[in-house]
Amino acid sequence: MSNQPATEARGQEWRSRFPAVNYLNADYGIKSWLLTVDHKRIALLYLISISFFFAIGGAYAMAIRMELLTPQGDLMQSHTYNKVFTHHGIMMVFFFLIPSIPATLGNFLVPLMIGAKDLAFPKINLLSWYVYMVGAILTFAALLNGGVDTGWTFYTPYSTAFSNTYVVLAGVGIFITGFSSILTGLNFIVTIHTMRAPGMTWFRLPLFIWSNYAASLIMILGTPVIAITVLLVALERLAGIGIFDPRLGGDPVLFQHLFWFYSHPAVYIMILPSMGVISELVATFSRKPIFGYSFVAFSSLAIAVFGFLVWGHHLFASSQSVYAGMIFSIISFVVAIPSAVKVFNWTATLYKGSISYDTPMLYAFAFIGLFLIGGMTGLFLAALGLDIHVHDTYFVVAHFHYVMVGGTMMGYLGGLHCWWPKITGRMYPEGWARFAALVIFVGFNLTFFPQFLVGYMGMPRRYHAYPTDEPMWQVLHVMSSGGASILGIGMLIPVVYFVWSMRYGRFAPANPWPGTGLEWRTPSPPPTENFAVTPTVTWEAYEYRPMEETEVIGPGKTPDQPIGGQHPLNQAETEKRQ
């Protein structure tokens, strides 16, 4: 940060002006956390649990990369390898990527950004965390008991006739976890519709809200379909019922249709909230209003709507009719348009902006670059003819890691850094954070770019061995495994300094960057009810000034003042404690 002593001083000043009581210290003890209905505390519960499952998924990823260092299948047998990549996928997709941004940053920020005291249904919000934990623990138990070897997609008949592993237990866990996602989406939609502060019109909403709204629509309309599908697979295994079993007149491809009807839009559950984060970061750190606000807002909805119509591009090689294939191919190309609208509008926002290279902005840059590669290779895969060539190769693996890790992870980390001062009331160490962002960016590209090449050369996914007479293959795999180690270390650095900063970080001012959103107009960390009085919004979104003006007269049209001053209850509570 360019002006550390100034920020430090402002942080101290804010501390002295504001009461010591906030959502973190309003109550103590394990019960006050496990039974909390405060959206901010629930966000932290989610943050801890998804980080745990991310670490598990990451460990499996390292095991995969270790095996692929050498062409021979020498570290594990093929059956073990099947389980390892299945566990990696299940943990990362269902227990990290899907809840990642909505359940943590979304939970924390949606009420703050729209000027509400909480989400519309605080108890349902807490319930969603418990539902998530029950599902996660059941699935985790299935993995510990011997695991699942079907791949994270649970394709029939791998998951029905040909598997003796814990498919039902893992499936039930995923079924249950799906409901936590439905409950979160329901809460967001209702909150955004009914809980906005006076003056907070739809077109004054931060774009983070728009993108979470779009993602919530997918959670609501997509997740129940995977729920019924998993239920049918479980019934098929338990009761021998043959909806997906050709011996009983069923059709295994129906499973693929139902599965991807959810699981393709689920990719947009992962990426849309991340795009929302990037919109916030780009505007805040280039000190400019976002270029084409309404285009960016509606592009989120367009992605959500078109996202439901492209599932067939996963079935180009699965007996789908060629005419259906052509239509799905065309619609998949159409989804690229709203995605491109976002990328162009972000870059247009940067143009002549007053850009600062704080850590969140580094992640925003990383997102734009990596999402560009991930999205463009998605077009390769949406092209019918080319997809036949690269179908089920490492090209596909590299593509979706660029979108999911390069997209969602970068947005998640960028958002976490941007709002960490708001969440904890402490600044993270900027130097270390920039260093970690660089390590992660280098490690990520070294891991996944070689996979495009090895995939294009024909290396299939889900194999634990590959031929030795292709010398380039091993070179590329060694690069990828080396990159994975760098990426793994890069991920550990933020864990260390985030934990460190909770105790030793500098005090954060209410508005460290400074931003113009409502969440920056309440103390860091916020009081339990977020605002001393319900704010009234009289300004448009992203009314940013260049940094030079900001330092003199405040971040936007309204002065750098908290809303409403002292909270009466909070004041009384502070005096009592002193």
Partner 1 sequence: MAHAEAVEHGHHAPEAAHEALAHHFDNLEQQREAGALGMWVFIAQEVMFFGGLFLAYLIYRMKYPEAFMAASNHLDWKLGTVNTAVLITSSLTMAMAVWATQVGRARRTQVLFMALTMLLGFVFLGIKVVEYSTKYRDGLIPIAGWFDPHFALPAGVTVQNFQMFYWIYFAMTGLHALHMIIGIAILIPIMWAAWRGRYSPEYHAPVEIFGLYWHFVDIVWIFLFPLLYLLGVHFHAGGGH
Q: Which residues are at the interface with partner 1 (CB under 8 A)?
A: 116-122, 182, 185-187, 189-191, 193-195, 220-225, 227-229, 232, 235, 239-243, 247-251, 254, 258, 529, 533-534, 568-569
Task: Select 230 or 508, whichever has its Cβ closest to partner 1.
Answer: 230
Rounded-to-integer distance, Cα 184 and Cα 256, Å: 26
Nearest to 362 by CA among 430, 428, 423, 462: 430
Q: Which pair of structure tokens corresponds to residue 373?
A: 């590669």
Cis check for the bond before 338: say yes or no (omega within 30 of 0). Answer: no
Give least dist CB 284 to partner 1, A: 27
Measured between alpha carbons, how far is residue 373 from residues 257, 300, 328, 403, 576 in Å?
27, 19, 21, 8, 57
CB 148 within 8 A of CB 167: yes
Give least dist CB 97 to partner 1, A: 21
Give least dist CB 193 to partner 1, A: 6
CB 297 within 8 A of CB 210: yes
Other CB atoms within 10 A of residue 417 CB: 24
Task: Select 65 or 314, whichever has its Cβ closest to partner 1.
Answer: 314
Unique residue bearing structure tokens 């239509």: 327
> Which residues touch 303 (CB under 8 Å, ≥6 apart)?
214, 268, 272, 335, 338, 339
| Beta bridge pairs of residue 507 | 426
DSSP string, 125-148: HHHHHHHHHHHHHHHHHHHHTT--
Task: Select 187 or 550, whichever has its Cβ closest to partner 1.
Answer: 187
Rounded-to-integer distance, Cα 412 and Cα 193, Å: 25
Task: Select 185 or 514, whichever has its Cβ closest to partner 1.
Answer: 185
Give least dist CB 515 to partner 1, A: 24
Any idea what DSSP says for residue 250?
Answer: -
Give least dist CB 564 to partner 1, A: 10
Task: Select 239 or 322, whichever has its Cβ closest to partner 1.
Answer: 239
Task: Select 223 or 263, whichever has its Cβ closest to partner 1.
Answer: 223
CB 148 within 8 A of CB 87: yes
Other CB atoms within 10 A of residue 556 CB: 21
Give least dist CB 432 to partner 1, A: 37
Rounded-to-integer distance, Cα 122 and Cα 213, Å: 18
Give least dist CB 238 to partner 1, A: 9
Task: Select 223 or 329, whichever has its Cβ closest to partner 1.
Answer: 223
> Which residues touch 535 (CB under 8 Å, ≥6 apart)?
115, 197, 518, 521, 563, 564
Task: Select 239 or 552, whichever has its Cβ closest to partner 1.
Answer: 239
Rounded-to-integer distance, Cα 305 and Cα 307, Å: 5
Q: Which pair of structure tokens corresponds to residue 75?
A: 């570290």
Rounded-to-integer distance, Cα 566 and Cα 26, Å: 16
Give least dist CB 562 to partner 1, A: 17
Give least dist CB 548 to partner 1, A: 39
Task: Select 247 or 503, whichever has its Cβ closest to partner 1.
Answer: 247
Task: Select 253 or 355, whichever has its Cβ closest to partner 1.
Answer: 253
Provide the terminal-to-terminal Cα distance of the chain, rounded to the nearest Å: 34
Give least dist CB 198 to partner 1, A: 9
Task: Select 195 or 465, whichever has its Cβ closest to partner 1.
Answer: 195
Task: Select 37 or 75, whichever has its Cβ closest to partner 1.
Answer: 37
Give least dist CB 537 to partner 1, A: 15
Measured between alpha carbons, how far is residue 495 from residues 413, 541, 558 in Å?
11, 32, 36
Give least dist CB 194 to partner 1, A: 4
Is 203 exposed, middle or buried (CB count within 10 Å of its CB: 0-12, 13-18, 19+)? exposed
Nearest to 475 by CA among 459, 498, 499: 459
Nearest to 276 by CA among 260, 293, 257: 293
Give least dist CB 171 to partner 1, A: 14
Task: Select 6 or 572, whichever has its Cβ closest to partner 1.
Answer: 572
CB 225 within 8 A of CB 264: no
CB 387 within 8 A of CB 249: no
